[in-house]
Each structure stands twice: as C-alpha cells, then as structure tokens.
Structure 1
Amino acid sequence: MAFNMDSLKDALELSSSPPEGQLETVDLEGIAKYIKSGKAKNVITAIGAGISTSAGIPDFRSKETGIYENLNEYNLPDPMAVFSIDYFEMNPKPFFQVAKNLYHPYAKPTLAHYFIKLLNEKGILLRDYTQNADQLERLAGIPEEKIIEAHGSFHKGHCVKCRTEYPFEYLKGCILKQEVPKCSRKICDGVVKPDIVFFGEPLPDEFYTGVKRDFPKCDLLIIMGTSLSVHPFCGIVDLVKDGVPRLLINREYNPRTIAIVPMHFNEPDNKTDVLAKGDADDICLQLAELIGWKDDLLQLQSTRNAELEREFEEERKKSFAR
C-alpha cells in the first residue's frame, strides 16, 4: 500500500484550528502539567529501537554498537541488504545470523516500556505504535490490542512458499543457533520467515487502519527512541491535529529530519513541541516524577520484572532438562 501523507491528512480531516490545551511551557514540565490537568485522555506513543538498548538489544544506526555497523563479516552489498526482501529471497542466511542480535531470550522491558504500560494503567493510552520487533511491549504487559507493530514482530512467522503459519517457539531455536528455519511440511522446503517487515514489503494493513482510526482522537503524542528517518512510520508524527502537543525523547535530534517531519522546537511561536534529549529511561523517570507517578512506575517495573524472572527461570530449567 502506498503511503501518501497529503492524501492521508485530507482523509483524516485534520483541523487547522488549535484545540484547547496547548502547553504552558514547551518543556518536560509543560508536558507533565498537561497530563496532570486531565487534558491528555488519548495518548499515542510512537517508539523505536532506542528504548530497547538498555535491555541489551542494539539499535540500527549507533556508531560501533549499531547493527548496521557490525555486518562486515557477512559480505553484504550494503548493510541494509540484510533487511531487504529481495536479498532475503536470494540468501536468507545472513538475516538469521543477525536475528540473534535482535532477540535476547531473557531481556526484560526497560523503564520506558513500563512508562507506556503505566499510561495504559492510568487509562489514557490510546495506542502504542512501535517499529520494534523485540516484543518487549508484550512482555511489559501492554495489552495486545493496544499495540500496533508497524514493522511486524517475531511473534509468529510464515513459510514463504506455502504460507503455513508457525509460532515463535518454532523460530526461536533456529534464531538462537543462527540457522535458517525450514517449513516442516513434507511437500515443502520453504524458508520460514518471521513476520517482520523487510525493506521492499508493505506495512501491515492494521498500521494504516489504525492510523486513520486513532490519530484524529490523539491529544498527546509521545515519540521515543527513534531518529524519525524510516518511511512511512516517521510520517505519522505529522498526523496529529494542529495544536496537539508532541514530545520527542531521543539521544539526539537530526535537524535534517525537520524537512521530513516538521517539528517546531526552535520556533518563537512554538506551543506544542518538546524535545527531551537523553536516555529514554532517564527522561521517562523524570516525567513520571513531575507528574507524581514515580513510585507507581518503579513499583510496576519491580513487580513485573520479578514475574518475568520467575518465568525465565522456569524456561532455563526446561532448557537444561532437554
């Protein structure tokens, strides 16, 4: 499906008149006051790989540690080929060698993931739009119906030949061994591809239907851990109504992004856009403290991590028993 920003804006009938509730101050405290005032009833989060790095999962573009910086051994025509559907169809092996870096079997959600979960517990999370395939939102306990996995996930996979569906458990062993999973049907020897979106593939239909359904309702957009450089996901940032506050939490902000996704951080009449540069976990903790949710956030993290550790321990025991 082609993604045309102007036609989608027209379809959403985005208002040109700013709604009530612009920020008192265009900083993190202004966002906190906006949430505390009760004006944020339908919060959308848009997240990228940067919120998972503290869980041990590398992002794509960081120098030295990013996935694209560590692909020399695979003799690829270019680093992005490992996620190209055309290259995958010719040679899937490099992807499954790299996939181990994207899946850490005992990784726990980060504080940023739990902040999204807390938004849901407070009854104000409309939807979480994620570029990540690591499933940490699910592990954090965010309800599945609140998550739009724009780039798919490892949650399940399909044979590229016969389209037989396979659960993640079928894929997991091969990913950890860096092997190519094959269809188990006797009449088929197709590769089982995880349901993640490769370059050259369309985004899932639920992404587009979700955008049309959710963004007209959005009254606060929180963007975390993304450089806003991948189309069409980055375009959703510009689909909120005029006057709706937008918070970008990221280690850096590339000014060239302004040409793609207009945000108004340095404009004198800016009343809506806030840039919080830094680690997503640290910023989320600061924001939670400003709202008065710090104890709730830390308790949520502690309780869920303890549950996950018990689950992981059971999995380890089963693995050793095999």
Structure 2
Amino acid sequence: MPFERVRLERVRLEPWKRRPELAALALLLGLLMMLHSHIPNIAGVGSLVESLLPWFGVYVPVLLAGALWRRSPSAVVALVLPVTVWLSLFGGLLTDKSHPGGDLTVVSHNVGAGNSDPSGTARQLALSGADLVALEELTDQARGTYEKGLAKAYPYHEVRGTVGLWSRLPLSDTRPVDVVQGDVGPLARTKPPESAAEAAAEVRALRTTVATEHGPLAVYVAHLGSVRVMPSQGFWTDSRDFGARALTKAVAAEPNQRMLLLGDLNGTTDDRAFHGLTSRLTSAQETAGNGFGFTWPAAFPIARIDQILVRGVRARSSWVLPETGSDHLPVGARVSW
C-alpha cells in the first residue's frame, strides 16, 4: 500500500477521545455563568465577574475549536451548558427591540473631566435632538462652555456639583442627592467640607422635576464613585456601592411614579450592587435597544456603565451615540407614556 494512502487511512480511522479536561472546562464555564450571583464578593471579585459576564461567551468558540481539534465528543456535548446559559442571560440582547414613536427623547453623557474639546462635545449633544440632556463629570473649568454651547437648544438647566440636566421643558424642585457622604475606603473623605463651594463640588447626583404635557416627570442624574483596582484590596467598589445604596433609597422614596434615572453608574446592570435599583427600574437598553450598548471605554467599549433606567414610562428605543472627546460614549433613549 502506498505511503500516502496508509497515512490517510490512519487519519480517517483515528478515534474520537473523551478528553475529560476540555469537558470539565466547558462545564465549569457554564456553572460560572449560571451561578455568578453566588460568587463571594471578596475583593470585589463577584462584581468584576458580573460586570464582564457577557464576555464569558467568547470562551465558547475557543473551547469548541479545542474540542474539534482534540476530537473530543464529550467536550462538544458539555458546551451545550454554557451556550444555553449564555443565551438565557443575553440572547434577548441580540435582537432589535426598538419601536417607532415616543413622547420624549433623553440623552446622558459622562463628558469626561479630561475632555480636550468640551465645545465640540456640546455641539454634538445639541444636535442630538434630545429633549433632555444629562451631563456627568462636569468640571468648574468646562461648565461655562457647556452652558454656552447648550443654551440655544435648552432654555432650562440645573447643575449641582459635577452633574447637570439641560431641558427644553421647565424644571423645578431641583435638589442634590447625597451619594458621597459616608464613603469609606482608600478614597474616603478625610474631613468635612470647609466651604460651601467645596461641599457643592462633592455633589454627584441631583433630582429634579420636568414639566411635560403628560404631567410631572421626576429625573435623577447621577455619577457614582469610581471602581478601582487597588494593590492591597483588589477590585475596590466601596465608593460606588455606597452611592448605589443611597440612590436606591432615594428612588424608593420618590413619590412620583413616573421617573428616569440617567447617568454614569460605574457598573453594569448585571452587577449585584444595583439589584436594589434594577428591581425598581427598567433598563431602556434591555427592553428597547439593539445589542449590548457598551459605552466604556469609548475607544473600545467592553461594558455598559452609562445607564438610562425608567419607571412609570415605557422605553420605545435605546441607542449609543457617536464618540465625542470623552472616554465614555453618550447614550440615548426615546420614552412614551
């Protein structure tokens, strides 16, 4: 028998093998996604896993390629579990759930303290056609630029600390929401604010009422504390988590059943830190968007940490706007009564 024919016969007859290590990895991946809420949040590991949960699906084709290369039928079968779990968690985001129409268009954007072109960012936001524009991470130096750039399109606006809301409709009953006081950890406040200006600069959330033709609408704008990787503490979320609890308390006490929460929450809606909010509010992207709507970092978004959450109104569509000079992408939504 010719040599080439013998080699082909051997390849053709080589049996598939169990390869239990590949099957075990596939099962572990599926269990990790299925039981993510039970992962201890030691050093923020639980929050980190939940923030990046959609990306665990990337390992499925990697394991599938390995299973086919190693000729392991057990590994191929085991991959049914992670595929099923991933689709149950995120399959709904793969379809376009947007609908035409709506009564109010809203945009939220962390404009970035290091934004080198606030004037250009303001122009882009003014051209968005939104009725409400929420801005986070406003600096004292850039605030006047945004006020000037948005004044023509938005006759009403309120700013508290580093957050603000620009509106085509009248605003009233605006007040700060304390999502900073009581902070703990390496970035904790070491002493009380020494002046009114210093205290105002620490404000990272506000609540206001928008007068619409359908009645009053409560709007919250928030920028929760940063999440950081600390050498001694791992994935540090204390500041963000305190803010999430404070915001949840404010939302729970809000008397107006129609409300919006706009802002940079520094976390995804899958993160356990936001269960109090997501149990009371609905994500516009999840109910009326198309895709994951990742917003950060702007150059290569891997997570949606900029949110539009609603209660008492219905999201008709949700989208991500083009990049500005910020390290975040703006988000928009159209809501109806």
TM-score, normalised with respect to structure 2: 0.30
| Higher alpha-carbon Rg | 2
Higher helix residue share: 1
If asked which structure has higher relative contact order (CA below 8 Å, sep 6+), I would say 1
